[in-house]
Structure 1
Amino acid sequence: MDKYQVLKQYFGYDKFREGQELLIDSILSGRDVLGIMPTGAGKSLCYQIPALMMEGITLVISPLISLMKDQVASLRQAGVSAAYLNSSLSSAQYFTALDNARAGRYPIIYVAPERLTTESFLDFAVHAKIAMVAVDEAHCVSQWGQDFRPSYLKIVDFIHRLPYRPVVSAFTATATQAVRDDVADILMLQDPTVLTTGFDRPNLYFAVYSLKDKYGAVRNYLDCHPGENGIIYCLTRKTVEEVCGRLQRDGYSATRYHAGLDDGERQKNQDDFIYDRKRIIVATNAFGMGIDKSDVRFVLHYNMPKNMESYYQEAGRAGRDGEPAECILYYGGQDVITNQLFIENNRDNEELDEAARQAVLERDRERLKKMTYYCFSNECLRDYILRYFGEYGDNYCGNCGNCLSQFETVDVTEYARGLIGCVGECRQRYGINVIIDTVRGANNAKIRQYRMNENSWYGCLSTVPAHRLRQVFNHLLVNDYLSLSSDEYTVVRLTERSGEVLDGSLSVLMKLAREREEEPKTKKKPARRAVGFGDVDEGLFERLRQLRSEIAKEERVPPYMVFSDKSLTHMCAARPQSKAEMMEISGVGEFKYKKYGERFLQAING
């Protein structure tokens, strides 16, 4: 079979997505590749299709057990023999899998990086024909990436011990230029085809809200999106417990996930979410890497993550099927403090020398600053994300909270001069709250203790609401009129641009919402739309989803592995009446049609 036949027969697609064909052709020609593709762009097909066409075994190195299980289950559902080798297997299961691999039963084997240098696996590998080593979540190899894993450094040693060098392919979803370069160097890729397809996910809606009642906002959102699957991310285990407990008491189908639970409960709760027994999972960032659940319709961040890489990776777990999904971040000032504590007390980099550790620490502080700026930017949120990863757009996407708000440009030079002047006169010694309290003329103990009531800018902006001054302050930070120190105590510093505002040679303009609401309005869930197919019959979609759930229970697989939401919505729009028409549906391949096609045709005709 050629690559197009493999794509259709096993995976049910008629054409490749952007970038896939170039990477597949490069691998088939024997060339190394590095693919940077956003979540949901189809990275796994880039190594799975060549693996089914090459002579020999493809080893996929993957960081998490859950990722391997998910990928192997999906391949088996598509009619592909695959296996995984990790610590979840008993000794007997592990050696049975190795024997089957030696017998050539698996074209694709997923393996944990820790297994690579064990005696039993090396004995298998050096006597097997390894055609390709595919490194998934390749950013884990770089200490500059957000998920550095020292075990990934064993990959190169393993490749060197093979009798001949296989093709090496590496894939990741979120990587800055520095991380991309690091991945290519550390994995010693040879003249690789390097492809970045772009980080944009047009189907995702982004919004940020600063709220007093976060839980109330979450409840409001869930009530407007009944029956949908979603993830709620929290910064700490304690917050996970609180939010999940309240949701369960209020009657929502919710479960929890964090590193403080025992392995058995974590696995059960994850399975409950993946198999649709629970609609909502409340989790720390310990949950999610490699989870291929395609029908997650929303990701809510109850707290701000520590950097843009983590945020975009977590938010990207929504809408992997290409259907519309929402990513909403509920921001609070305490989130910054909590993240600062995590950064300062990070124990992951203790193996580094002091100079490298300080460099990583400074990098993490800078990343937190950029993440914070995202939360109070009035510019297009999608454009902010893309610029962070080195891409540039039009600063208007039409599908984020800022683009859909009405803004007006306001001259805030007077406010800026007051804030900057106050910072200068106190010799850059205090934080944001002290500066704002001073210009507003507050008479509290801290102001008197610091003698800021003697500052000549004291009370100069007494009629301006505190929230407006904080908005202006954030604008000054984002645009480098002021900066924050990275010391143990964060204080406000002047920049080169500060003097230009004070001497009147530079005006400060900013966009402000005309009627900025503190909380989002309650809005009903919109009618379901299939991307590219228009509106679909909601009743038929629910009938097909019910059939999918029945089949999933019979076969003990997650529902999305039967067919994705995108496949179901395409069925609703096209209403196929025959096998030929059903085979035109996105995601319906020969193997899946034989298993499920007739039952879905009956449901559609019924």
Structure 2
Amino acid sequence: MTLALDILKKTFGYDAFRPPQDEIIQTLIEGGDALVLMPTGGGKSLCYQIPALARPGCGVVISPLIALMQDQVSAMRELGVRASFLNSTLDFATVQSVEQALLNGELDLLYIAPERLVQERTQQLLSQARIALFAIDEAHCVSQWGHDFRSDYLQLSLLHQQFPHIPRIALTATADERTRAEIVTRLQLEQARQFIAGFDRPNIRYRIALKHNARQQLLRFLKAEHANDAGIVYCLSRRKTEEIANWLGQQGFTALPYHAGLPAETRAENQSRFLREEGVIVVATIAFGMGIDKPDVRFVAHLDLPKTVEAYYQETGRAGRDGEAANAWMVYGLQDVIKLRQMMANSQGNEAFKRVEQHRLNAMLGLCEITSCRRQALLAYFGDDRPEPCGNCDTCLEPVDTWDGTEAARMALSAAYRTGQRFGVNHLIDLLLGSETDKIIQCDHHRLPTFGIGKALDKNQWSSVFRQLVGRGYLRVDVEGYGALQLESHCRSLLRGEESIQLRRDTLKKVTKQQTKTALPDDIDVALWEALRECRRELADTQGVPPYVIFSNRTLQEMCYEVPQSLTEFSHISGVGQRKLDKYGADFLRVINDHINA
């Protein structure tokens, strides 16, 4: 370790290791294997860079981050480390040059993409070279249960089989117990020492709020706290990343989109600007961020709910790598849950995989709905206990106002049960409020004992009750049944009165009314109303007919209240016959979905 400390000081400029770096480095220098879980910014890279320099030969780093290899190699060369990389971006002459340098013993570190490592040519090359160690970075990519699965990682067991005497280190920032077990099995690391550092990032402030106008919420957050800061905004869809980036640009921010559908040159340019310029915001899907080593990212914002707690932790961990104060900010809504569950239902995974993903989504939603310290819940998910509340999350800084929601919850569950568990939240709220809508009358639900029993709460309050019941696992959303709410077995004791429940008291801001010439009810969403009117006007202009010929104002108002999510739900709107359903349904549903996702 004297040599390791000397390298740490002379090459990297640090005086001492942060535990457990010293133990990990000693394990590798002595020829042992290691599995390392360390939070982003915790110094994982040193755990293989220093042993690679201390041991004879070249350290080989397997990394999925082709777009960042050049930056990683440049950073090493700046320190005087002889580093290079092999991936698909190089021409044949350059590849030959790098390979010869490896064989000549002229490299300290070589970064290789996993798809190149599994090629026979590369394996022959490595068998002829003197290798100090193998480092498998972002090791969670090997797990099919993980959030960044890479199929090429499944073949990395070949390292143990073909190079059994060369030490291996697998590293990741996020892996729950199941993912850790799969990493060990697939990489044949059963004999490796496991180092699980604390997951806490105390400098990051976690804040989660309900989505009511996501763009304006984001704008207020940025203007108030991060007007000139670098940050990342995560969205679920590619289209949304581009729309939000353009919109932020109009608000005076330097914002760039990033998703897998953009040309490679555009992605590289946007990533390069983010890394090299100050105050740049990247609006991205989950395709962006792994391996990003920018220390001064001051915030990570989510405009959509992440699929898992692991994904959330990994993505938020890209903020504040320098140890300075940073924000993890997110807005979410029940519609996010419905969208994610639809994506899961349509995935190619088997039923076991879908069940696990469902549990993980429920855990993520539970983190959002929790009324106690978020950091305690987040750390507990990874098996890291924190005895005291953190004092640096929204629920600690502004304790949640709760109320006894037991009776309201029983009414909500009863409404779902008595309607056959075949209807969505809007219909159930109408039932509880005693609204005699066409759908309520048509289904004969005005005769049910639950009709009108919930008038003590308003529509927003009932929406909050249903959302929290889904979040806590009392109800589930049937994505194949157009968003119908169904009872989970977990709800029985609550229904029977054997259990009580404290609910979060949500204070939703009322929709700000915009300029409109039409007299509207007080509780209507004016932004959606205007968007529907604009759609109607465009269709009317195209066909040369008055707007009311397309749909009446009353029909548009019902769309605002019912917010249909499918053609089947749209067909139940008053004034929508089969011909208009076929002719206009898709156009109006698109407007509604765009509004929900805005």
For the aligned pair, the TM-score class normalised by the smaller chain equals 0.7 to 0.9
Contact 1:442 1:459 in 2 (8 A): yes
Contact 1:84 1:109 in 2 (8 A): yes
Task: Give the partner amino acid of 1:407.
Answer: V
Residue of structure 2 in register with 1:236 after alignment: 237
Contact 2:300 2:329 in 1 (8 A): yes
Question: Per the alignment, in what secondary structure is the counterpart of residue 183 of structure 1?
Answer: helix
Residue of structure 1 in register with 2:399 after alignment: 406
Contact 2:232 2:283 in 1 (8 A): yes
Residue of structure 1 in register with 2:458 after alignment: 465
Task: Give the partner amino acid of 1:492.
Answer: L
Q: Does 1:166 find its partner at 2:166?
A: yes
Take 1:322 and 1:397, find their aligned partners in 2: how far apart are those partners? 16
Question: Per the alignment, in what secondary structure is the counterpart of residue 423 of structure 1?
Answer: helix
Contact 2:422 2:481 in 1 (8 A): no
Instruction: State the Cα distance separating 1:484 from its structure 2 match.
Output: 4.6
Residue of structure 1 in register with 2:86 after alignment: 85
Instruction: State the Cα distance separating 1:69 from its structure 2 match.
Output: 2.4
Residue ranges of structure 2 left out of the alignment (5+ in a row): 512-598
Give TM-score scaled by structure 1 length: 0.79
Moved more, 436-445 or 233-242: 436-445
**Where does 1:374-413 land on structure 2 (aligned, <5 Å)?**
374-394=367-387, 396-413=389-406
| Cα distance change of structure 1 residues 154 and 407 upon mapping to structure 2, 3 Å threshold | closer
Task: Give the partner amino acid of 2:206.
Answer: F
Instruction: State the Cα distance separating 1:197 from its structure 2 match.
Output: 0.9
| Cα distance change of structure 1 residues 460 and 422 upon mapping to structure 2, 3 Å threshold | same
Take 1:190 and 1:429, find their aligned partners in 2: how far apart are those partners? 48
Residue of structure 2 in register with 1:180 after alignment: 180
**Where does 1:479-518 land on structure 2 (aligned, <5 Å)?**
479-484=472-477, 489-496=482-489, 498-512=491-505
Residue ranges of structure 1 left out of the alignment (5+ in a row): 348-355, 520-606
* 1:249-307 deviation line (CA, Å, top 9, x unaligned): 23211212111211111111110111116611111111111111111011111222222
Task: Give the partner amino acid of 2:185.
Answer: D
Greater RCO structure (CA 8 Å; 6+ sep):
1
* 1:11-30 deviation line (CA, Å, top 9, x unaligned): 22222223212211211222
Residue of structure 1 in register with 2:208 after alignment: 208
Take 1:451 and 1:27, find their aligned partners in 2: how far apart are those partners? 71
* 1:371-404 deviation line (CA, Å, top 9, x unaligned): 2333333232222222222333346211111211
Moved more, 475-484 or 263-272: 475-484
Identity %: 39
Take 2:473 and 2:222, find their aligned partners in 1: how far apart are those partners? 38
Contact 1:70 1:291 in 2 (8 A): no
**Where does 1:147-296 land on structure 2 (aligned, <5 Å)?**
147-162=148-163, 164-224=164-224, 225-276=226-277, 279-296=280-297
Residue of structure 1 in register with 2:40 after alignment: 39
Take 1:258 and 1:479, find their aligned partners in 2: how far apart are those partners? 32
Contact 1:116 1:158 in 2 (8 A): no
Q: Does 1:6 find its partner at 2:7?
A: yes
Take 2:426 and 2:381, find their aligned partners in 1: how far apart are those partners? 28
Tell me which of 449, 459, 462 is aligned to 2:442: 449
* 1:332-354 deviation line (CA, Å, top 9, x unaligned): 3332233233323335xxxxxxx
Take 1:517 and 1:9, find their aligned partners in 2: how far apart are those partners? 56
Contact 2:431 2:451 in 1 (8 A): yes
Residue of structure 2 in register with 1:359 after alignment: 352
* 1:454-499 deviation line (CA, Å, top 9, x unaligned): 2211111112022323333344344444445575555434455534
Residue of structure 2 in register with 1:325 after alignment: 326
| Cα distance change of structure 1 residues 510 and 216 upon mapping to structure 2, 3 Å threshold | closer
* 1:144-189 deviation line (CA, Å, top 9, x unaligned): 1111111112212244234x53111101111110110110111111
Take 2:287 and 2:496, find their aligned partners in 1: how far apart are those partners? 50
Q: How many residues align?
A: 509
Contact 1:256 1:269 in 2 (8 A): yes
Moved more, 365-374 or 191-200: 365-374
Give TM-score scaled by structure 2 length: 0.80
Take 1:499 and 1:122, find their aligned partners in 2: how far apart are those partners? 58
Question: Per the alignment, in what secondary structure is the counterpart of residue 360 of structure 1?
Answer: helix
Take 2:420 and 2:133, find their aligned partners in 1: how far apart are those partners? 60
Q: Does 1:419 find its partner at 2:412?
A: yes
Take 1:424 and 1:340, find their aligned partners in 2: how far apart are those partners? 21
Contact 2:61 2:111 in 1 (8 A): yes
Take 2:156 and 2:501, find their aligned partners in 1: how far apart are those partners? 52
* 1:24-46 deviation line (CA, Å, top 9, x unaligned): 12112221110111111111111
Question: Per the alignment, in what secondary structure is the counterpart of residue 175 of structure 1?
Answer: coil
Task: Give the partner amino acid of 2:429.
Answer: I
Task: Give the partner amino acid of 2:213.
Answer: D
Contact 1:70 1:292 in 2 (8 A): no
Moved more, 181-190 or 393-402: 393-402
Residue of structure 1 in register with 2:550 after alignment: none
Question: Per the alignment, in what secondary structure is the counterpart of residue 397 of structure 2?
Answer: coil
Tell me which of 422, 433, 443 is aligned to 1:429: 422
Instruction: State the Cα distance separating 1:405 from its structure 2 match.
Output: 1.3
Task: Give the partner amino acid of 2:295.
Answer: S
Moved more, 208-217 or 490-499: 490-499
* 1:54-112 deviation line (CA, Å, top 9, x unaligned): 11121110012123223222212222111111111111111111111111111111101
Task: Give the partner amino acid of 2:12.
Answer: F
Contact 1:376 1:471 in 2 (8 A): no
Q: Does 1:373 find its partner at 2:366?
A: yes
Residue of structure 1 in register with 2:55 after alignment: 54
| Cα distance change of structure 1 residues 218 and 367 upon mapping to structure 2, 3 Å threshold | same
Take 1:470 and 1:387, find their aligned partners in 2: how far apart are those partners? 29
Residue of structure 2 in register with 1:74 after alignment: 75
Contact 1:377 1:475 in 2 (8 A): no
Task: Give the partner amino acid of 1:68.
Answer: M
* 1:182-217 deviation line (CA, Å, top 9, x unaligned): 101111114111121122111101111223322222
Task: Give the partner amino acid of 2:204.
Answer: L
Instruction: State the Cα distance separating 1:140 from its structure 2 match.
Output: 0.8
Instruction: State the Cα distance separating 1:122 from its structure 2 match.
Output: 2.1
Take 1:68 and 1:448, find their aligned partners in 2: how far apart are those partners? 63
Contact 2:118 2:155 in 1 (8 A): yes
Take 2:365 and 2:400, find their aligned partners in 1: how far apart are those partners? 21
Contact 2:341 2:479 in 1 (8 A): no
Q: Does 1:121 find its partner at 2:122?
A: yes
Residue of structure 2 in register with 1:439 after alignment: 432
| Cα distance change of structure 1 residues 435 and 22 upon mapping to structure 2, 3 Å threshold | farther
| Cα distance change of structure 1 residues 508 and 69 upon mapping to structure 2, 3 Å threshold | same
Question: Per the alignment, in what secondary structure is the counterpart of residue 296 of structure 1?
Answer: coil
Residue of structure 1 in register with 2:19 after alignment: 18
Contact 1:66 1:290 in 2 (8 A): no
| Cα distance change of structure 1 residues 479 and 304 upon mapping to structure 2, 3 Å threshold | closer
Contact 1:308 1:371 in 2 (8 A): yes
Residue of structure 2 in register with 1:536 after alignment: none
Task: Give the partner amino acid of 1:468.
Answer: Q
Question: Per the alignment, in what secondary structure is the counterpart of residue 286 of structure 2?
Answer: coil
| Cα distance change of structure 1 residues 516 and 386 upon mapping to structure 2, 3 Å threshold | farther
Residue of structure 2 in register with 1:580 after alignment: none
Question: Per the alignment, in what secondary structure is the counterpart of residue 10 of structure 2?
Answer: helix
Residue of structure 2 in register with 1:350 after alignment: none
Contact 1:423 1:494 in 2 (8 A): yes
| Cα distance change of structure 1 residues 442 and 395 upon mapping to structure 2, 3 Å threshold | farther
Contact 1:61 1:113 in 2 (8 A): yes
| Cα distance change of structure 1 residues 488 and 165 upon mapping to structure 2, 3 Å threshold | farther
Contact 1:298 1:327 in 2 (8 A): yes
Return structure 1 stretches of 4+ with deviation > 6 angstroms. Answer: 515-519
